[in-house]
Structure 1
């Protein structure tokens, strides 16, 4: 749960955090008893706790397909991410990965921590994959094949232009959007979305991650991972790694703002995609990560801390997004509010200020034109009292109980 200090500063976070904790506990209790499915769902909770929660809300058949799709792509991504694997070994594995999912004896040791466990015991994932319906298998195989080929291409190619950047993000995330749309359609719950909109859903999330993870990627050992396109960063520094040095702080922030502005070009497509969804559980599954992405961009924009450490949303706000993203009105409201936050941070002297403001205003217009934005209360902008008596009182009671138990146990030890 969130830290005590964060909860005291944002007492309205307390209830959503408690709900999130209970939901996570309930989701873990629903792990299937079969060893291979048990492994898959346990691993899902380890590699992506918040993602696991929204998957758990899908119907059983679709939930299993999305779980396996996610784990297959996480495994594929683990191979791509491991900079210690020689290129001549890595490329053939990426290209053939769509075939390995049919072999319940295949595994490849790479990655670290939980990802190494996933790779060492990948046979559990393959066994579960073989139990899915044929339409689900075909969709997962197709996307895995296309993604593996695209990843292999960029192992030997740097991201030079913005077109390269879009192509790379298409292979590693846009195809995920296409694959999910195919799975939704295969379940009978949704119409098949246009590829361009599905692609934008993936690109918006991927570009947000690439922006946020600059420092982690550039400091990767034994070799830096560089995804920011040269066409953008070369306007500010001579080498991409120069952005992390304090003497380049002003240029670094300008480059960051340029990257955020590029990511915002996908917002309108994402809103169009989500507005067409009919199934409530699929809608939440798609909408929660998108709201998290626009919120993360608002935090990263004009923020030098992106080059100093980790910039991420406080856990209480994440809990609120998961709890309160239920309708398209919620999405429009959240996108509008985070756009307002972003707009308030734009420096008129920034070289991309005009372009950034244009993108923000286009987002806000889309939200206003929908006519749904005012149907919900903002939990993002400071429109509520800083302190709420009830959550603080409950928190103090819990703290008092904890302290009483702590001192009682200490007394019994003497």
Structure 2
């Protein structure tokens, strides 16, 4: 749970945080009894807590398919991310990974911490995969094959141009969007979305992650991982790693803003995709990460801290998004509010100010045209000066919660 100080600054975060904590505990109690499914859902919770929360709302068959789809691609990603694996070893594994998901005995030691456990005991994932319906298996195999081939291509290729950047993001995330759309369609709950919209759903999330994770990727040992396209960063610095040095702060932030502006291209497609969804659980599953993405972009924009440490939405705001995202009105409201927050940070001297403002205006226009903004719940316009009574209540409830938590452990 968030610190008491954070709750005092944002008292209306408390109830969503409490609900999130209770939901997480309920998930831990609902782990399936079969060893392979138990492993899969336990591992899902460890490698993606927020994803585990939204996936549990899906119907049983679709939930299992999405869980396995996520773990298969997470394992594939673990192979790609491990910079200690020699290229001549890594490339064949990436290309053939879609075959290994049918092998109950296959595993490959790589990664660290929970990801190492996933790879060491991957046979549990394969066993669960083989129990899925054939249509789900075919969709997962197809995307895994295409993604593995794309990852292998970029092991030996730098991200030079914006086209390269879009292609790389398509392989590692756009294909996830296509795969999920196929799984939703196979479940009978949704129409099959156009590939272009599914691709944008993935690219919006992936580009946000690449922007946010600059420092972690550039400091990767034994070798840096570089995903920012040279076509963008070379306008500002001689080397991509130069942006982490204080003397380049001004140009680094300008480059950062250029990257955020590029990511905003996909926002309107994402709104169009989500507006067509019919099933409420699938809708929340898709909408919550997208709201988190535009919120993260708003925090990263014009923020030198991206090059100094980790920039992410506070836990209370994340809990609020998870709690309050129920309808398309909530999505339009969140996108509009975060677009306004981002707009307020655009400086007139930024080289891309006009382009950034144009893209933000397009997002705001789409939200206004929906006619649903009057029904939105605000995520960012908090009661920062919450009344004394609310603060006292928060403190009392926090103490009670801590007291009972401590007693349960005795």
Same fold (TM over 0.5): yes
d(CA) in 1 for partners of 2:390 and 2:214? 37
d(CA) in 2 for partners of 1:217 and 1:92? 23
Aligned residues: 407
The residue that corresponds to 2:173 in the other structure is 173
Residues 1:206 and 2:206 aligned together: yes
For structure 1, the residue ranges without an aligned partner over 5 or more in a row are 409-414
Equivalences for 1:287-326 in 2 at 5 Å? 287-326=287-326
d(CA) in 2 for partners of 1:399 and 1:190? 42
Contact 1:11 1:391 in 2 (8 A): yes
SS of the residue aligned with 1:166?
Answer: helix
Cα drift, residue 403 of structure 1 = 8.5
Alpha carbons of structure 1 residues 405 and 178: separation in structure 2 relative to 1, 3 Å: closer
Contact 1:14 1:391 in 2 (8 A): no
d(CA) in 1 for partners of 2:394 and 2:44? 31
The residue that corresponds to 2:129 in the other structure is 129
SS of the residue aligned with 1:177?
Answer: helix
Cα drift, residue 395 of structure 1 = 2.4
Cα drift, residue 393 of structure 1 = 2.9
Equivalences for 1:221-300 in 2 at 5 Å? 221-300=221-300
The residue that corresponds to 1:395 in the other structure is 394
Q: Deviations over 1:101-143 (max 9, x none)?
A: 0000000000000000000000000000000000000000000
d(CA) in 2 for partners of 1:401 and 1:178? 46
Residues 1:85 and 2:85 aligned together: yes
SS of the residue aligned with 2:366?
Answer: helix
Equivalences for 1:183-194 in 2 at 5 Å? 183-194=183-194
Q: Deviations over 1:77-101 (max 9, x none)?
A: 0000000000000000000000000
SS of the residue aligned with 1:123?
Answer: helix
d(CA) in 2 for partners of 1:177 and 1:341? 27
Equivalences for 1:3-14 in 2 at 5 Å? 3-14=3-14
SS of the residue aligned with 1:380?
Answer: coil
d(CA) in 2 for partners of 1:327 and 1:126? 35
The residue that corresponds to 1:97 in the other structure is 97
Alpha carbons of structure 1 residues 30 and 269: separation in structure 2 relative to 1, 3 Å: same
For structure 2, the residue ranges without an aligned partner over 5 or more in a row are none
d(CA) in 2 for partners of 1:403 and 1:211? 37
Q: Deviations over 1:290-319 (max 9, x none)?
A: 000000000000000000000000000000
Contact 1:41 1:67 in 2 (8 A): yes
d(CA) in 1 for partners of 2:226 and 2:203? 17
Q: Deviations over 1:42-96 (max 9, x none)?
A: 0000000000000000000000000000000000000000000000000000000
Alpha carbons of structure 1 residues 184 and 404: separation in structure 2 relative to 1, 3 Å: closer
The residue that corresponds to 2:53 in the other structure is 53
Contact 2:332 2:376 in 1 (8 A): no
Alpha carbons of structure 1 residues 29 and 221: separation in structure 2 relative to 1, 3 Å: same
Contact 1:15 1:391 in 2 (8 A): no
Residues 1:162 and 2:162 aligned together: yes
Contact 2:9 2:384 in 1 (8 A): no
d(CA) in 2 for partners of 1:142 and 1:381? 43
Contact 1:12 1:388 in 2 (8 A): no
Alpha carbons of structure 1 residues 225 and 407: separation in structure 2 relative to 1, 3 Å: closer
The residue that corresponds to 2:27 in the other structure is 27
Cα drift, residue 402 of structure 1 = 7.3
Q: Deviations over 1:165-185 (max 9, x none)?
A: 000000000000000000000
Q: Deviations over 1:256-298 (max 9, x none)?
A: 0000000000000000000000000000000000000000000
d(CA) in 2 for partners of 1:391 and 1:59? 37
Contact 1:54 1:285 in 2 (8 A): yes
Cα drift, residue 29 of structure 1 = 1.2
Alpha carbons of structure 1 residues 227 and 385: separation in structure 2 relative to 1, 3 Å: closer
Residues 1:38 and 2:34 aligned together: no
Q: Deviations over 1:16-49 (max 9, x none)?
A: 0000001111111111100000000000000000
Cα drift, residue 376 of structure 1 = 2.2
d(CA) in 2 for partners of 1:399 and 1:209? 33
The residue that corresponds to 1:412 in the other structure is none
Cα drift, residue 397 of structure 1 = 1.6
Contact 2:211 2:256 in 1 (8 A): yes
TM-score (norm 1): 0.96
Alpha carbons of structure 1 residues 301 and 403: separation in structure 2 relative to 1, 3 Å: closer
Alpha carbons of structure 1 residues 119 and 351: separation in structure 2 relative to 1, 3 Å: same
Cα drift, residue 399 of structure 1 = 4.7
